[in-house]
Structure formats: structure tokens, C-alpha cells
Structure 1
Amino acid sequence: MKIVLAPDSFKESMTASQAVAAMREGIGLALPHADCVGVPMADGGEGTVDAVVDALGGEPVTVDVEDPLGRPIRARYGYVAGRRLAVIEMAGASGLELVAPEDRDILRASTFGVGQLIVSALDHGAAELLIGLGGSATNDAGVGMLTALGAVFTDADGAPLPPGGAALAHLHRIDVSGLDRRLAGVHVQIASDVTAPLLGIGGASAVFGPQKGATPNDVDVLETALTRLVEVTRTALGHARPDRPGAGAAGGLGFGLMEFLAADCDPGVEVIAHTVGLERALTGADWVFTGEGSVDAQTLLGKTPFGVAQVAARTGARVAIFAGRVAPDADVLLEHGVEKLVAITAPGTPLEQALRDGPAALTRATAEVCRTL
């Protein structure tokens, strides 16, 4: 029997690779002769770097960068030398969790640190960038990132704009002549489940701004500023598509990447599955075991377990999803190619204990399922 192990991380409990190890141990207890293939997964958010590095034999690279407020921090990305592939989680340099709630300032938060990670990747020889969007503290449409890469954004007096999305209201000219020339030979792939446009009631500022501390007035300021950015971008580049799905991801970073770096934007789990070779691993598999911390009806909207199930459907592998919490409405997954939903934690278990005991609980649950196969 061939079983592919393709879980996402179980947040605050175990990484995707640790989940693979726990599943493998459980299978060994019940089906010691099974052929187990581990393919750690992610959806473009937290854990993407680790999943790709582990699956492809890459290495983490740590860099000194600026956080969203310009303070020095250490951030990391993954590099797979054999493929000249760099894997970046934008939240590692410009994420909301890097800024204490009392310090958050969406009007001046910048993606400059993301650009610094890209420069480091280029220094390592990257020919492909896979950038996971999500968890951002920013709303500057990637202008900070582009500044780090050599673009210049100036006001009517020719002065460079200060960091942050609000300053873009004063944007007069964009000069891209200084963009790092190495970018011309690099393919940029965005992994994001956010399909929001840049502007409007469903856009970056209106939908995601309040989650980052924006007041109603802040939202209006940012909407005006990003509208100005679109106008000047169209003049500078000859094109600007703020309505493109994903343009509003990560505070508009999707817009900056697509317009200025010709990035492709696709659903995160599909991008990661393709990158790590999930479908190839599933060839000839009887089962795929996947999962993450919590599973519910929203899992159908692009979360890793459902993405894995969709790939499995093309290969004929049967699907079991393991989770710390399986919500009652998760049963809808059983109508979409999933055969088993397995809660690894007993109802009523205190959260702290559930997180601490997650690997052992996943091992037990996997063994129990395997004894029924």
C-alpha cells in the first residue's frame, strides 16, 4: 500500500514536516510495510518556505531587513539551488505579527523588507521567485518593495516619497530605469488565495485595511492614494489593471508584483502543489493523508486539505483529512472527494494541551485509521 503524507502545518503545534513525521510514525505502528511518501504542503501563507525547502532539499537563508515600520529585523526565505528557486513569505519581512498592536500604522507601513529579500535572492542567483502573500501589515501596493529594488517614486517637486501607502496621494512620477536589471530574467509567481482587486469596496483598503488597524478615515486616505498610484502607473508603464484578481492581496502587493515585475498570480495551494510535485508523488498511491489545525466548511475555499483532495481526484487516490478540530459543517467535504475526516483531539481538550500534544495525537489518530484500512 502506498500512502502519500501531504499535510499543512498545524498552527502553533507542528510544522508540515513535523506532521509528516508524526503521520509516518503512526503508519509504522499499524502498517509497517506501507510505502510512505512525505510531501509537506502549504497554501502560500505561513509555512510555505519550510514546506518547499523540505520537499525540494533547499536551505533557509537569513537576511537583515527592515520590518514594516523600518526597524531592523532578521527575516528568512528559502533557496533551492538546483532549481535557482527562491521562496519568500512576504509576512516574514512585512507581516502584521511583526508589529505590536499598539504600534501598528497602516498609513506608513512599508513592504521595503520584501524587496530586500528579493535582492538577496537575486544575489544568490535566483531565476524564479515564488512569493506567498498573506498576513501583511502594509497597504502600499508594493511600492516599498519596488523602492528597495531600485524604482523611484517622487512628488511634484521631485522629492522621493516617504514610506507607506498614504504618501502615494502625492505621487507625481515613477522612474523604473533603476530597477535591478537582474529582474528581467526572473519569473515571479505569486501564491495567494486572495482574489480581491486593488480598489473599491472589495479592495485592499476597504476589506483588509480595518483588519490592520485602519479607521474609516484611514481607508478613505488609502483608497485615494492607491487610486493615484494606478493613474501614475498607467502613465509610467502604459498599463495598470487594478481590477485584476489578486491585485489587492497583501495590501496591494499583488498589484505591484503583477504590474512592475510581470508576476503570475494563482491560488496558493495549487502553486505549492505544482512546485513540490504533489501530483507526481500521488501517482499509484492508494491514499493521501492531509490536514491542518482546523477544518470546516471554509476549507472548500482554497485551504490546503481541499487543494490536496482536488489533486488526488486526478490520480484516483483516496483522501483522509486529519485536524485538531473538525467542525460539524466540515461534513460538506465528504461530498467533494474526501473519504475520512479525523479529529485528532478529543472534544473538550484545553487548547494549550491540544497544541502541546499535537504530534503525539496525530500519530495515534493515524495509527487508528490505518488499522481500519
Structure 2
Amino acid sequence: MKIVIATDSFKGSISSVEGSLAIAAGVRDVVPHAEVVTFPLADGGEGTVQALIHATAGSFISLDVTGPMQEKVNAVYGIMDDSKTAVIEVAQACGLSLIPTDQRNPLLSTSYGVGELISDAIGRGCLHFIIGLGGSATNDAGVGMLQALGYRFLNREGKEIGFGGKWLRDIRSIDESKANPTLAQCTFRVACDVNNPLYGENGAAYVFGPQKGADSQMVRELDQGLKHFAEVVLNERGKDIQQIAGAGAAGGLGGAFAGLLHGSLESGIELILDANKFKETLKGTDLIITGEGKLDEQTLMGKALSGLAHHAQEHSIPMIVLAGSVPVNTSYMHSVGITSCFSVVNQPMSLEQAMDVRTTGTCLQFTTNQLLRLIRAFQT
């Protein structure tokens, strides 16, 4: 019996790696000789580096970089087992969680640290990049990242602009003569599950700016800066980044990667599954066990489990979902590849208790144990 365990993180509780190991323990309690493949999931957000590096037996790199408010922060990225592919979450260098709520200001926050991570990886021999865009605190159109890579953004006087979204309106020209020459050989696959344009009412500033600390006046100023930046890029590079679906992701980092670094914006879960060679893993699989913290309608909206369910259905493999919370009506889930779903909360408990990492791990192992006992009983 071959069982693939591919679980997402239970946000605020257990990581995808720890959750997968707990489920694997539950399987081996009952079927000790089963072939168990653990395959931690991610969709480009938090946990992407851990999931990919764990699955490929790669290595983690810790580096001090420039944080979103120009302070030093410690960021972690990964290099896959081919030694040529780096996995980077932008939130490690410019994430919202790095700034106290009362200090968030996308006029000032910079994505510079993301460029420093890319530069470090290039220095270690990496030419291919998988980028997760989730959780950024910036709205600088990725200009900070590009500055760290050697791009110069010049104002009317020919001087370099400062850091943050407030300076976008001052840009008059782009000088890439001192950009890292290795960038021309690099490829960037960017996990992006939104299609927002760079500017406008559905753009980066209006849709995502408020959650990053922008008030209404700041939103208007940021939007004007993004529009101006797009016009400069169009005039100087002939590239209309406003027309790129997803250019507004991560405060415009989507546009920077796609428009200036020739990156491809892709579905997060499909990118991760492809990078992990998931289709090859599925060969000969009898059962998939997966999970996430809360199972609901959002599960089917481009999240990790929806992509997994698609592949399970395509290969006619039964898939069980374990979750902390499960809705009463699951008929819509069964139609897209989810065979059955179960809550792992096994007794009355507070939310705090339920989200304790040890409790979650124990419950995942116990529930898996019981499900495998039932499956084994039917097989015999």
C-alpha cells in the first residue's frame, strides 16, 4: 500500500512538515510496512520554503538583510537539491509581520531585502528562482528589490531615489547598466494567485494598501506613484506592466518580476507541485491524505488543497482531508476530488487548546490511526 501524505500548514498551529510527520506516524501505527511518502504543501505563501526544501532534501540559508523599514532582519531562504534553484518567500525580507501594526507605512517600506536574498543566492551559484509573494508590507512596485540587484532609478536631477512607495512619482529614468549581469541567465517562477493590475481601483494600493497601514490619502499617493512607474517602464522598456495580470501582487513585486526580470506569474499550488515533481510521486499511489486548519468554500478558491484535489481526481486516487474545522455541507467538495473529510478535534476544547501544536499533532496521529484501521478492516 502506497500512501502520499501532502498536508498544508494549520495556520497558527502546526507546520506542513510537522503535520505530515504526525499523519505518517498514524499510518505506521496501523500499517507499519506501507510505503509512506510525506509531501508538505504550500501555495506560495508562508511555509513555501520549508515545504520545498524538505521535499527535495535541500538546504536552508540564513542571512541578515535590509528589512521593510530599513532595519536589519534575519531572513531564511532555501536552495533545492540541484544546487541551482533558490526558493524565496518575500515575506522573510519585507513581510507585514516584521512591522508592528502602529508602524506600518507603505510609503516608506521597501522590498530591498528581497533583492539581497536573490543576490546572495546568485553568489552561491543559483540561476533559477521560485518566489512566493504572500504577506508583503510594501507598495514600492518592487523598486527596492531591483535597487538591491543594481538597478538605479533616477529623478529629474539624475540622482537616485530613496526607498519606499513615496518615491515612485519622482522616477524619470531607469539605469540598469550596473545591474547584476548574471540576472540575464536567471529564471524566475513566481507564485501568484491574484490577478490585480498594478494601479487603479483594483490595483495594489487600493486593494492591499489599507492592510499595510495606508489611509485614504496614502492610497491615492501610492496609486499615483504606481501609475507613474508603469508609464516610465512603458516609455523606456516598451513593456506595459499594467496589462500583466497579477502585476499588483505584493505591492507591485509581481510587476517587477514579470516586467523587468522576465519572470512568469503562476498558480502557487501548481508551481509548487510541479517543482516537487508531484505527478511522478503519484505513480502507484493508493491513497492521499491531506489537511489544513479550516475546510470551507475558500478551500476551492486556488488554495493548496484545491490543486491537490484536482490531481487526485485526474488520477482516480481517493483523497482524505483532515481539518480542525469541517463544514456540515461538503457535497461541493466531493465533486472536485475530495473523497471524504474529517475533523481531528476529538473532544470539547477551547480554540487555544485546539491550536496548540502538540494537541494538533496528537489529534492528527489519532484520527489517521482510526481511519487506517477502518480501511484495513474493509480490505480484509
Is this a same-fold pair by TM over 0.5? yes
Aligned partner of residue 75 in structure 1, secondary structure: strand
Q: Following TM superposition, by how much is the alpha carbon of 1:246 offset from its aligned partner in structure 2, in angstroms? A: 1.2
Matches within 5 A, 1:310-325: 310-325=310-325
CA gap 1:314/1:151 in 2 versus in 1, 3 angstroms: same
Q: Following TM superposition, by how much is the alpha carbon of 1:81 offset from its aligned partner in structure 2, in angstroms? A: 4.5
Q: Residue 112 of structure 1 contacts residue 147 of structure 1 at CA under 8 Å; is this kept in 2?
A: yes
What is the match of residue 181 of structure 2? 181
The CA deviation string for residues 216-265 of structure 1, in whole angstroms up to 9 with x for no partner, is 11111011000000011112212122131111111110000111100001
Q: Residue 233 of structure 2 contacts residue 241 of structure 2 at CA under 8 Å; is this kept in 1?
A: no
Aligned partner of residue 64 in structure 1, secondary structure: strand
Question: 2:332 is aligned with what amino acid?
Answer: V
Aligned partner of residue 82 in structure 2, secondary structure: helix
Q: Equivalents in 2 of 1:168, 1:241: separation in Å? A: 15
Question: 1:171 is aligned with what amino acid?
Answer: I
Tell whether 2:36 aligns with 1:26: no
What is the match of residue 362 of structure 1? 364
What is the match of residue 280 of structure 1? 280
Matches within 5 A, 1:1-373: 1-328=1-328, 330-346=330-346, 348-356=348-356, 357-373=359-375
Please give the root-mean-square deviation of Cα atoms over the aligned residues, in Å.
1.3
Q: Residue 107 of structure 2 contacts residue 218 of structure 2 at CA under 8 Å; is this kept in 1?
A: yes
The CA deviation string for residues 90-137 of structure 1, in whole angstroms up to 9 with x for no partner, is 000000000000111111110000000000110110010000001010
Q: Following TM superposition, by how much is the alpha carbon of 1:327 offset from its aligned partner in structure 2, in angstroms? A: 3.2
Question: 2:44 is aligned with what amino acid?
Answer: G
Structure 2 unpaired stretches of 5+: 376-380
Q: Following TM superposition, by how much is the alpha carbon of 1:348 offset from its aligned partner in structure 2, in angstroms? A: 4.8
Question: 1:97 is aligned with what amino acid?
Answer: S
Q: Following TM superposition, by how much is the alpha carbon of 1:337 offset from its aligned partner in structure 2, in angstroms? A: 1.2
Question: 2:371 is aligned with what amino acid?
Answer: V
Aligned partner of residue 242 in structure 2, secondary structure: coil
Q: Equivalents in 2 of 1:302, 1:365: separation in Å? A: 26
Q: Following TM superposition, by how much is the alpha carbon of 1:39 offset from its aligned partner in structure 2, in angstroms? A: 1.1
Q: Residue 292 of structure 1 contacts residue 324 of structure 1 at CA under 8 Å; is this kept in 2?
A: yes
Q: Following TM superposition, by how much is the alpha carbon of 1:293 offset from its aligned partner in structure 2, in angstroms? A: 1.3
The more displaced of 34-43 and 85-94 is: 34-43
Q: Following TM superposition, by how much is the alpha carbon of 1:329 offset from its aligned partner in structure 2, in angstroms? A: 5.2
Q: Equivalents in 1 of 2:170, 2:196: separation in Å? A: 25
Displacement over 3 Å in runs of 4+: 327-331
Aligned partner of residue 241 in structure 2, secondary structure: coil
Q: Residue 284 of structure 1 contacts residue 315 of structure 1 at CA under 8 Å; is this kept in 2?
A: no
What is the match of residue 378 of structure 2? none
Aligned partner of residue 32 in structure 2, secondary structure: coil
Identical-pair percentage: 38
CA gap 1:232/1:332 in 2 versus in 1, 3 angstroms: same
Q: Equivalents in 1 of 2:332, 2:202: separation in Å? A: 27
Structure 1 unpaired stretches of 5+: none
Q: Residue 83 of structure 2 contacts residue 125 of structure 2 at CA under 8 Å; is this kept in 1?
A: no
Q: Residue 133 of structure 1 contacts residue 249 of structure 1 at CA under 8 Å; is this kept in 2?
A: yes
Q: Following TM superposition, by how much is the alpha carbon of 1:202 offset from its aligned partner in structure 2, in angstroms? A: 1.2
